[in-house]
Structure 1
Amino acid sequence: MGDKGSPSSDEGSFEDCVEALEVGEELGENEKDIEKLTGAVKELEIAKDFSLENLHVYFQKSFETTEEIDIAHYILGFREVYKFLTLLGSVFSFVAVDVQMKIDVLHKYNTGENKDNYKTLKTMIQYEVENDMILKKKRDDPSGSRTLLRLHRALDYVVLFLGKLDGITHDDKCAPISREAYELTLQKHHIWAIQKAAKLAMALLPTKGGLVQKVCPEAAEDEAIMKKVEADFIAAVNSMKKVFETSQALYENHDLLDIP
């Protein structure tokens, strides 16, 4: 079963990824956020309690009782996404840190003094739209709707990437399907420096078998466990896809999908 593939000399390393994030001329108005992100990357710890089952269950529960997307369960689901990203080690650290920052902001809205307006995605968007809280032309707008939109875009990538795992063999590298998923989703929202860092990182992704082993080390020795992990991936992708499609429709209805 495969391990991490060794990138060719022109594919770069994690240090190249961080350097790409730190180039000043490319960062523009996002410079402070990138500096904060790259600093946090070096302190990132690998999660030891990631659960594919929880990834599926939390996202499923976010739409199980309401088609409006329950934000509390959405946050729990994304905490599992964050843990999954850390399992990839330094490869996706900068993505994981950014996700964690967005989760923390969203959690404050969901549990703060104004929490009644932040129970579901629908109530949050309606409340912020009605009160002109979304600054449509400013990238540093801290509104809950814009914060969750950033996670929503990341979810699009995760769903497409993990959904493609079923179509490759255990010995196939994950880099090509990850790169394809990225180019179809997140790339258009990223400045050049982030695009460069992301693609360099993807070159370091393991094979499908290596990825499964990271999620569940026991799968390396037990074919039945391996098959269960693969089935759990499919279940998680299906629940995340449902959440993505529902969220997409809510944002589209309020003409918010293309805000920067």
Structure 2
Amino acid sequence: MASTEEEFSLKEVLIHFKSCLLDDDKDVLLEHYLNGWKGLVRFMNSLGSIFSFVSKDAVSKIQIMENYLKGESGERYRSLQSMIEYELSGNLVDLTQRSGHPDSGCRTLLRLHRALRWLQLFLEKLRISSEDSKTSTLCSEAYNDSLANYHPWIIRKTASVAFLALPVRNKFFEVMNVGTPEEVVDMLGEALPYVSKVYDFTEEQYSQHNLLNLP
């Protein structure tokens, strides 16, 4: 796995999430999905330890998924649909936390999927925000509308305190290594629709198979 210490590139994230979508947006290629996530981890890590409560978990989930991709059944994990079909048909999904498959691909990817919603909402709020908008407020709003629903109280409390240390909007834009704030806004406008398409398709697939609430 690529080092999370590499410099973050918003353009790289755009390319990977754009490459995720297969056959007129009818499937998601997991290798590109994971590569897009590695870029998002670099984004979180570039801001220090503020997002470590998410980034550390994301790194472990990415590793689990990459191990599946490299394993004997790697071809079954090439896309989202093939993974779901393979794991469900083989009873490899831990539907009740009793079947002995706590790190199934479906469960592992669901955790990344939930975190992706938070980052998607936060980056969209950043994109449409004004220069004097408080990033801590934007981030908290995005978190409360997404990932907070799956976190225990102590993590939610830790997150709310961590967000207070977030840098100002223009500092965020510098981290994205794109150029001027206007250029960052333009690239976010190009990238986020692809992230949204990937998120929406994944949500639809999990919903169809009753997997959105895996323990």
Task: Provide TM-score, normalisation by structure 1.
Answer: 0.76
- Matches of 2:18 and 2:75, distance apart in 1: 22
Checking the alignment, whether the CA contact within 8 Å between 1:153 and 1:186 is kept in structure 2 is yes
> How far did 1:226 drift?
2.5
Checking the alignment, whether the CA contact within 8 Å between 1:171 and 1:209 is kept in structure 2 is no
Q: Does 1:134 align with 2:93?
A: yes
- Matches of 2:124 and 2:153, distance apart in 1: 26
Secondary structure of 1:138's counterpart equals coil
- Matches of 2:181 and 2:126, distance apart in 1: 13
Secondary structure of 1:89's counterpart equals coil
Q: Does 1:247 align with 2:206?
A: no
1:176 corresponding residue in structure 2: 137
> How far did 1:69 drift?
0.4
Larger Rg over CA atoms: 1
2:151 corresponding residue in structure 1: 190
Checking the alignment, whether the CA contact within 8 Å between 2:46 and 2:175 is kept in structure 1 is yes
Structure 1 residues not aligned, in runs of 5+: 1-44, 220-224
Change in 2 beyond 3 A, CA 1:230/1:47: farther
Structure 2 residues not aligned, in runs of 5+: none
Change in 2 beyond 3 A, CA 1:127/1:46: closer
1:65-104 counterparts in 2 under 5 A? 65=23, 67-104=26-63
> How far did 1:108 drift?
0.6
Point out which structure has higher relative CO (alpha carbons under 8 A, 6+ apart): 1
Higher helix share: 1
From 211, 215, 240, the equivalent of 2:176 is: 215
- Match for 2:95: what amino acid? K
- Matches of 1:167 and 1:88, distance apart in 2: 20
- Matches of 1:244 and 1:46, distance apart in 2: 22
68-77 vs 231-240, which deviates more? Answer: 231-240
Q: Aligned Cα RMSD in Å? A: 1.8
2:125 corresponding residue in structure 1: 164
- Matches of 1:142 and 1:100, distance apart in 2: 14
1:6 corresponding residue in structure 2: none
Checking the alignment, whether the CA contact within 8 Å between 2:11 and 2:187 is kept in structure 1 is yes
Task: Provide TM-score, normalisation by structure 2.
Answer: 0.92
1:63 corresponding residue in structure 2: 21
193-202 vs 250-259, which deviates more? Answer: 193-202
Checking the alignment, whether the CA contact within 8 Å between 2:4 and 2:41 is kept in structure 1 is no
> How far did 1:214 drift?
2.2
Secondary structure of 2:27's counterpart equals coil
**What percent identity do the matched residue pairs reach?**
32
> How far did 1:130 drift?
0.9
From 166, 169, 186, the equivalent of 1:231 is: 186
- Match for 1:227: what amino acid? E
